[in-house]
Chain A
Amino acid sequence: MDNSKDCSIYTEHIESGKRKVTLSLTVNGRKVVRDVDPSMTLLHFLRDNLKLFGTKEACGEGECGACTIIMNGKAVTSCIILAVEAEGAEITTVEGLAKGGKLSILQEEFVSQDALQCGFCTPGFLMSSRALLDHNPNPTDEEIIEALSGNLCRCTGYIPILSAVKRAAERERKELGR
């Protein structure tokens, strides 16, 4: 994560007695400008402010991966990132995966391989998988395991998730020419 940004670039102001910072970023292809509390996490910004409830919190400590989103091409745990750190960032959440009213190949494979049960960890797994396949369209099993080992799932035993990501990679190479 790029921590080199100087905090002074943020314009801070007071709004009804509370410190606020103006934040602009792109979420699922849509430009967003909002005034936020500088202590707000990116997860809370996405959920409470943008009402994107697909991203979940399951530990709040960056240990389980349920809140994973893609920020500037990287899978990150949004519960331990401040919203202000996303200034100018390109963000994709689970809501941004299906396009034109059609599930993405990755989502289709999660469905067909039964890579989910309760579904609470699923958005995080989808985003970690998406980030992996964006960088590595032909991952080995070991590379998938490494990329997804920060995401916890208590239902599936992971094996169907591994199958889904493998099959999605194969289909994306074939159908999207990746």
Chain B
Amino acid sequence: MDEKKYSSKYKRVGQPYDRKDAREKVTGQAVYTYDLELPGMLHARCLLSPYARARIVSIDTSAAKALPGVRAVLTGEDSDILVGLYMQDKRVLSKGETRYHGDVVAAVAADDEETAERGVSLLKVVYEPLEPVRNVDEALEGKILVHDDINELKHYVGVFFPQKDSNIASWNKSKKGDLDKAFDEADLVVENEFSLPAVAHVPMETHVAIVQADPFSNKIKIWASAQSPFAIRQIMADSFHISETDVEVHIPYVGGGFGGKAGIHLEPLAALLSRAAGGLPVKVRATREQEFNQLPTRAGMRGRIKTGVTKDGKITSVKAVYDWDSGAYADYGVNVGKTAVYSGVGPYAVENASIDSKTIYTNKVFSTAYRGFGHLETHWTIERQIDILSQKLGIDPYEFRMKNLLEPGCQTMSGEVITASNGSPKDCLTAVVKEIGWTGRKSEEERQREWKTGKVRGKGFAMLQKAPAMPANTATAVIMQMNGDGHVKMMIGAVDYGQGAITALAQIAAQELDMPIEHIEISSEIDTRANPYDWNTVASKLTFMAGNAVIKASREMLRKMKDVAAQALRTDPDYLDHADGVIFHRHNPERRLTYKQIALGYMYPNGTGIGGPLIASGSSIADGLTNLHPETGQGYPAAVWTFGAHAVEIEVDVETGSIEVLKVASAFDIGQVINEKLVYGQICGGVLQGLGSALLEGYKFNADVQLMNPSFTDNKIPTLKDIPGKIVPIYIENPQFNGPYGARGVGEHPMISVPSAIGNAVYDALGINFHVLPLSPEAIVLGIQSGKKSILCTDVDCLPGLH
């Protein structure tokens, strides 16, 4: 960190404070749901379907029920409760048919984990294996329906579009201009297909929930490792037909989420078990294997893209079709698919375009939100295509992008006009290209010369954009109270599961109130009974939206403080100012009161009090967003765009196929750095997660659609040995007009387009275009050996099941 020299114009915003939760986390004091024990708590284990698709013929639970220590055994016969964020398509317990290898067929709650496990082993289930839907092509044929009741599924009408009698959970569309004419008039039209497999989130704390559900009332108490306390409350209330006040959700520290803990997962099952066990609390915790094969993942995706360009390098037309292999349930998958229709041409101005994005049911592990929310996937398609176009046009890829990037006055895919306040994609690209020392592509001659040494270097870069993918009316709130000592306590409804949001929000409050950040207390623990509402902690919108709410609450707090102080100081509130924990008269500063003197009400020398405990609140709702038009996809989906770019330098070992990442330069137009240390952490973490998707991670299924690598042994994630030689973060600060101090979100963005930049650098090194992720050593070697210049799924050890 020593070499970075970010300096802020503000006293507290922009300063590199230590994260507020750090001390508890380095001493082992931080308590996670995994650590919690409640009086009388039982432990549960699940029996998962051993088939991707099967009919449950019979379940004999008698031996499990008879086992001493077993308190409850549940099967699909015991409950018909359905859950789902946007599509109510998932049974808590399977009945009739199982839809993937991880579907819960039965669950056992017992005095301890071992007894629950033994109980599960005593369950006798007879299955009739059925032909599964293995991939998107089989799904689109529609001979077998993953959900034969798709026509009746309750869903978010007008935003998602399930197709009748099909496996398409949602088909979202956008179109603009005259595409046919534009293709006819283009000087060059290039079509390509790109794909990437499902990838796991891998939070270090696996999914875990403890639920106490009183069988004699509607009360349900939940403790969960989750990102969305208020979504859990709402879905539990909906699914169990109770009121939201009957449900209380507690979120202690969360051991990583990355989108995988958004929405609702193990909570309903634990609730059913608790009720069945007479109201004792039940803990359901996923094993690492279940984290891979039962809990949701990032969808596999296939992107087919056709682009028309003029010979001087202006993109005139794009037709893109994105098919998402979303597995057995829609979960967040349909919303991931929806992002493709407004973000699926990347940060480029394209006048004629159409995008079809289908979120498709198959009999695989289902998919959900994952850092980047569809954008890593679509940008793998877009940014590799851009690179290939520049090869074919013989134009430098930097110049080509600069000719087409969004700038003020241009329209996004959904028709939103970009202004200077949206930030600058061009600034980002120019910064990283300079940092990496780009001087143009390698010549074939240079490649051949380096090839003889066994190692070839390459440089590449890629653009990225993302706005929060959220309902048009997404909202959040903050409650702020002053303690007797003049310190401030804030409560939010969103969860800090490591992003550092509570520290950033405390900085904003400290800046507004002009008091030390150490005097601002903001807990990352959420209790829905006390904390104010937040929609979901996802989408890189927490600092942006809650930051604005904190500013509003702080200003209300100051107004109230000045009202009391004015009375006590016998003046007008308008004559008062604040600084360093003191309210003072602007022209006569010795007429002053400390925050502490008015925190709980001001007391006159004779004991009389005025004012009372200081409390303020702030709400923030997305401004001016609309649902997208169902056919054209036009509208306003983006509360705040964050643009960025990565440039990389790599070295490919042509014998082993391994790729060493020498340098990554990453620029993001974040408007305003709130805390450089925390932003740097997001960039390092995001880049490495992106490198995981680029180089090594991916689900592998066998012909029966069984996941073959549900463990750390077979599903590697990057370790310390995989870090790049250097990561250079670059912060571009074109302020966002409605961001807190001009700031934009950047939680997910560092991960997006890392694979694209690597893929482009591989082309620079080898002169070969890879179309499939991951760019594993095997894929690189097979690609080289094939002698082809374009490596498709059929050329490498592609993941069975995607096609």
> Which A residues form the contact surface with B (CB < 8 A)?
52-61, 63-64, 66, 93-95, 97-98, 103, 107, 110-114, 116-123, 126, 144-145, 148-163
Contact status B727-A157, CB under 8 Å: yes
Instruction: For A64, give the chain B residue with the smallest CB separation.
Output: B712
| Complex alpha-carbon distance, A53 and B37, angstroms | 11
B13-53 vs A: 1/0 string, CB under 8 Å?
Answer: 00000110111111111111011000000000000000000
| Complex alpha-carbon distance, A112 and B23, angstroms | 10
Contact status A66-B204, CB under 8 Å: yes
Q: A123: which of B28, B288, B711 is its contact (CB, 8 Å)?
A: B28
Contact status B28-A95, CB under 8 Å: yes
Other A-B pairs, 10, CB within 8 Å; known A56-B205, A158-B684? A54-B29, A94-B28, A97-B26, A97-B27, A103-B23, A119-B30, A121-B204, A152-B717, A158-B720, A162-B720
A-B contacts, 27 of them at CB < 8 A, read: A52-B28, A53-B31, A53-B35, A56-B205, A58-B255, A63-B712, A94-B27, A103-B26, A103-B27, A112-B18, A114-B677, A116-B26, A117-B500, A118-B204, A118-B205, A118-B497, A118-B498, A148-B720, A151-B720, A152-B204, A154-B258, A154-B717, A155-B256, A156-B685, A157-B681, A157-B683, A157-B723
| Complex alpha-carbon distance, A15 and B360, angstroms | 56
Asked if B254 lies at the interface with its beta carbon under 8 angstroms from chain A, I say: yes
| Complex alpha-carbon distance, A114 and B720, angstroms | 16
Residues of A within 8 A of B268 (CB): none
Q: A118-B254, A149-B721 are in contact. Are A163 and B1 (CB under 8 A)?
A: yes
Residues of A within 8 A of B499 (CB): 117
Instruction: For B21, give the chain A residue with the smallest CB separation.
Output: A119
Q: Find the residue from A52, A56, A93 having the highest chain B CB count within 10 A.
A: A56
Residues of A within 8 A of B23 (CB): 103, 111
| Complex alpha-carbon distance, A152 and B205, angstroms | 12
Contact status B204-A157, CB under 8 Å: no
Residues of B within 8 A of A117 (CB): 256, 498-500, 681, 685
Q: A98: which of B22, B27, B498 is its contact (CB, 8 Å)?
A: B27
Instruction: For B254, give the chain A residue with the smallest CB separation.
Output: A118
Contact status B677-A152, CB under 8 Å: no
Contact status A63-B711, CB under 8 Å: yes
Tell me how far the C-beta of B676 lies from the nearest C-beta in chain A, rounded to whole angstroms.
Answer: 10
Q: B203: which of A112, A145, A150, A154 is its contact (CB, 8 Å)?
A: A154
Contact status B684-A110, CB under 8 Å: no
| Complex alpha-carbon distance, A161 and B288, angstroms | 24
**Stretch in B310-318, B477-485, B686-694 touching the partner:** B686-694
Instruction: For B371, give the chain A residue with the smallest CB separation.
Output: A154
Contact status B684-A159, CB under 8 Å: yes
Asked if B453 lies at the interface with its beta carbon under 8 angstroms from chain A, I say: no
| Complex alpha-carbon distance, A63 and B201, angstroms | 17
Residues of A within 8 A of B121 (CB): none
Residues of B within 8 A of A61 (CB): 288, 711-713
Q: A116: which of B22, B32, B206 is its contact (CB, 8 Å)?
A: B22
Instruction: For B682, give the chain A residue with the smallest CB separation.
Output: A117
Q: Find the residue from A54, A95, A151 having the highest chain B CB count within 10 A.
A: A54
| Complex alpha-carbon distance, A120 and B498, angstroms | 10
Instruction: For B500, give the chain A residue with the smallest CB separation.
Output: A117
Tell me how far the C-beta of A174 lies from the nearest C-beta in chain B, rounded to whole angstroms.
Answer: 16
Asked if B202 lies at the interface with its beta carbon under 8 angstroms from chain A, I say: yes
Contact status A122-B723, CB under 8 Å: no
Asked if B608 lies at the interface with its beta carbon under 8 angstroms from chain A, I say: no
Total residue contacts A-B, CB cutoff 8 A? 171
Tell me how far the C-beta of A96 lies from the nearest C-beta in chain B, rounded to whole angstroms.
Answer: 9
Tell me how far the C-beta of B243 lies from the nearest C-beta in chain A, rounded to whole angstroms.
Answer: 32
Residues of A within 8 A of B163 (CB): none
Contact status B28-A157, CB under 8 Å: no
Contact status A156-B34, CB under 8 Å: no
Contact status B34-A56, CB under 8 Å: yes
Asked if B719 lies at the interface with its beta carbon under 8 angstroms from chain A, I say: yes
Contact status A154-B204, CB under 8 Å: yes
Residues of A within 8 A of B206 (CB): 58
Tell me how far the C-beta of A38 lies from the nearest C-beta in chain B, rounded to whole angstroms.
Answer: 14
Asked if B240 lies at the interface with its beta carbon under 8 angstroms from chain A, I say: no
| Complex alpha-carbon distance, A151 and B712, angstroms | 11
Residues of B within 8 A of A152 (CB): 202, 204, 712, 717, 719
Contact status B255-A118, CB under 8 Å: yes
Asked if B737 lies at the interface with its beta carbon under 8 angstroms from chain A, I say: no
Tell me how far the C-beta of B518 lies from the nearest C-beta in chain A, rounded to whole angstroms.
Answer: 14
Q: A60-B288, A157-B685 are in contact. Are A111 and B26 (CB under 8 A)?
A: yes
Instruction: For B25, give the chain A residue with the smallest CB separation.
Output: A119
Tell me how far the C-beta of B648 lies from the nearest C-beta in chain A, rounded to whole angstroms.
Answer: 14
Asked if B680 lies at the interface with its beta carbon under 8 angstroms from chain A, I say: yes
Q: A54-B28, A122-B25 are in contact. Are A158 and B723 (CB under 8 A)?
A: yes
Q: A118: which of B203, B287, B718 is its contact (CB, 8 Å)?
A: B203
Residues of B within 8 A of A161 (CB): 720
Q: A93-B28, A95-B27, A157-B688 are in contact. Are A120 and B35 (CB under 8 A)?
A: no
Residues of B within 8 A of A98 (CB): 27
Asked if B100 lies at the interface with its beta carbon under 8 angstroms from chain A, I say: no
Tell me how far the C-beta of B279 lies from the nearest C-beta in chain A, rounded to whole angstroms.
Answer: 24
Q: Find the residue from B256, B680, B713 having the highest chain A CB count within 10 A.
A: B256
Contact status B684-A154, CB under 8 Å: no
Contact status A157-B687, CB under 8 Å: yes
| Complex alpha-carbon distance, A56 and B34, angstroms | 9
Residues of A within 8 A of B683 (CB): 157
Residues of B within 8 A of A116 (CB): 19, 22, 25-26, 498
Q: B688: which of A94, A112, A113, A158 is its contact (CB, 8 Å)?
A: A158
Residues of B within 8 A of A126 (CB): 26
| Complex alpha-carbon distance, A31 and B29, angstroms | 22
Residues of B within 8 A of A160 (CB): 1, 680-681, 684
Contact status B204-A120, CB under 8 Å: yes
Contact status A119-B1, CB under 8 Å: no
Residues of A within 8 A of B681 (CB): 114, 117, 155-157, 160
| Complex alpha-carbon distance, A144 and B10, angstroms | 37
Tell me how far the C-beta of B320 lies from the nearest C-beta in chain A, rounded to whole angstroms.
Answer: 30
| Complex alpha-carbon distance, A62 and B353, angstroms | 51
| Complex alpha-carbon distance, A60 and B201, angstroms | 18
| Complex alpha-carbon distance, A121 and B255, angstroms | 8
Q: B721: which of A58, A93, A113, A145 is its contact (CB, 8 Å)?
A: A145
Q: B26: which of A64, A122, A149 is its contact (CB, 8 Å)?
A: A122
Asked if B678 lies at the interface with its beta carbon under 8 angstroms from chain A, I say: yes
Residues of B within 8 A of A150 (CB): 719
Tell me how far the C-beta of A167 lies from the nearest C-beta in chain B, rounded to whole angstroms.
Answer: 9
| Complex alpha-carbon distance, A93 and B28, angstroms | 9
